[in-house]
Amino acid sequence: MTYDRLVCANCAAPVNEGRCPVCRASRARLEQQEQEQGPFAGLSPAMLVALMVVLLAALALLAHQTV
């Protein structure tokens, strides 16, 4: 989840603006979670499947050319 759409229950402002200590703490926690998830966390399952199909096709093409 991205914090650009979250609204703080403490000050009723968008969390990404960080107006109060609660907003700033939530924003810091969400930013840390984004960094820990890795490079493929934002991809949808359909995109991951498409990426795997392209990779397998490229490997098959390479294997066919070397024979």
**What's the pLDDT tens digit per position in 24-37?**
888 888 888 777 77
Backbone angles phi, psi at 7, to 5 degrees: -115, 135
Model pLDDT, residue 12: 87
Model pLDDT, residue 13: 87
For residue 6, give Cα distances in angstroms to 9, 26, 39, 49. 9, 10, 23, 30
- Asked, for residue 37, whether it belongs to a domain, the answer is yes
- Asked, for residue 53, whether it belongs to a domain, the answer is yes
- Asked, for residue 36, whether it belongs to a domain, the answer is yes
The ranges of the chain with pLDDT < 50 are none
- Asked, for residue 31, whether it belongs to a domain, the answer is yes
Domain containing 27 equals 15-66
Model pLDDT, residue 2: 58
- Asked, for residue 50, whether it belongs to a domain, the answer is yes
Cα angle 5, 43, 61; round to 5 = 160
Q: Provide the number of structural domains found in the chain.
A: 1
- Asked, for residue 6, whether it belongs to a domain, the answer is no
- Asked, for residue 3, whether it belongs to a domain, the answer is no
Model pLDDT, residue 3: 60
Model pLDDT, residue 56: 97
